[in-house]
Amino acid sequence: MADEEREFDYRIGDFQQVRRLLYERSGISLSDSKEQMVYSRLARRLRALGLNSFTAYFSHLKQYDEEWQEFVNALTTNLTSFFRESHHFVSLAEHLKKHPRRNGPVRIWCSAASTGEEPYSLAITAMEAFASLHPPVQIIASDIDTGVLQTAAQGIYPLSRIDQMSNERKKRFFLRGKGSQEGMVRVRDELRELIEFQQINLLDPRWPIEPGLDVIFCRNVMIYFDKPTQQHLLERMVKLLRNDGLFFAGHSESFVHATHLVRLIGRTVYRPANPSSGRP
């Protein structure tokens, strides 16, 4: 978009300022190509707040703490879908069948849950693997973005989101909306009951997650971070996993070089490299 067509004055310095602030808050590294995306996403915030320039928006951010969450929510990319990279759910089902835990539930952390399709796919996989609507599984689904977490917790989606799913899954796990909810589906309560939704910024120095996890899904979020941040997060996540736990990364995220931390055992699926004495 040409400068003169823009509603708000937007200079390269504004983009650089946004890039710096977002990196500090969330670890997300924006490339130069995201200049227009930043403008259109934040222009909505300026309009909503009745501000007339990016400079005024930066002052507003300094003054009103609550705007930081809106700032982050506006700039995250939340693309996701049910059973995305479906081979991971096949591996997970095999793992659950091979490692049924006898004392305590199987614990899964879905660390970039977005609008919920990924944790609900985990919950469906668990129900199918244990052939029960009440499998011994606990799922923590977290994200930095509070807007997507709200959608996730509601579990209501346009019917088109489950287009690709088998009829059997559609029938077993979703309820079709009627009246004003026509064209929408809602996940069954049993699915929601398996999942605890909470906001976690992966950049925070402490996560409210107990060690001894069986599975971590950390897919399609590391790509937004620079290499040192990725390495540091992987190190912290591996410490939370059991020795026989699994770490699932996204299709374009590779940790094959981090041999001191993880060992590749399937398509972007890893195990902790070294049995840790502190780990169960």
Ligand X SMILES: C[S@@+](CC[C@H](N)C(=O)[O-])C[C@H]1O[C@@H](n2cnc3c(N)ncnc32)[C@H](O)[C@@H]1O
* Of the residues 14, 70, 128, 143, which one makes contact with ligand X according to CB under 6 A: 143
- Output the residue with the shortest Cβ distance to ligand X: 80
If binding is defined by CB under 6 A, does position 76 make contact with ligand X? yes
Q: How far apart are CA 261 and CA 145, in angstroms?
A: 28
> Of 41, 161, 188, 263, which residue is the catalytic one?
41
Q: How many residues bind ligand X (CB under 6 A)?
A: 24
Burial letters 216-253, b for 16+ CB under 10 A, else e? bbbbbbbebbeeebbbebbeebbebbbeebbbbbbeeb
| Nearest residue to 17 via CA among 78, 45, 59 | 59
Q: Does 247 bind ligand X (CB under 6 A)?
A: no
- Interaction between residue 194 and ligand X (CB under 6 A): no
- Compare residues 91 and 220 and give the one whose CB is closer to ligand X: 220
Based on the residue annotation, tell me whether 41 is a catalytic residue of this protein: yes
In this structure, are residues 47 and 130 in contact, taking their beta carbons and an 8 Å threshold? no
**Contact with ligand X (CB under 6 A) among 18, 28, 46, 74:** 28
Residue with smaller CB distance to ligand X, 10 or 202: 202
Any contact of residue 27 with ligand X (CB under 6 A)?
Answer: yes
Q: Shortest distance, CB of residue 6 to ligand X, whole angstroms?
A: 26
* From 46-54, 133-141, 150-158, 196-204, span contacting ligand X (CB under 6 A): 196-204
Q: Which stretch binds ligand X (CB under 6 A): 5-13, 70-78, 157-165, 262-270?
A: 70-78
Closest distance of CB 2 from ligand X, Å = 30
**Candidate list 201, 211, 231, 239; residue touching ligand X; CB under 6 A:** 201
Pairing assessment for the beta strands 195-199 and 137-143 based on DSSP bridges: parallel
Q: How far is the CB of 79 from ligand X (least distance, A)?
A: 5
> What is the phi/psi pair of residue 143, to 5°?
-160, 160
Known catalytic residue at 143: yes
Q: Quick one: which of 14, 70, 128, 145 contacts ligand X (CB under 6 A)?
A: 145
Which residue, 120 or 173, is less far from ligand X as judged by CB?
120
Count of CA atoms in the C-beta half-sphere (13 A) of 138: 12
- Distance, in Å, from the CA atom of 230 to the CA atom of 228, rounded to the nearest integer, reads 5
Please list every residue from 78 through 137 that binds ligand X, using CB under 6 A: 78-80, 84, 112, 114, 118
Does residue number 203 form part of the binding site for ligand X (CB under 6 A)?
Answer: yes
Given the residues 14, 45, 107, 143, the one annotated as active site: 143
Residue 26 is a binding residue for ligand X (CB under 6 A):
yes
> Which sequence positions are flagged as catalytic?
41, 143
Residues making contact with ligand X (CB under 6 A): 26-28, 76-80, 84, 112, 114, 118, 143-145, 148, 201-203, 219-221, 224, 250
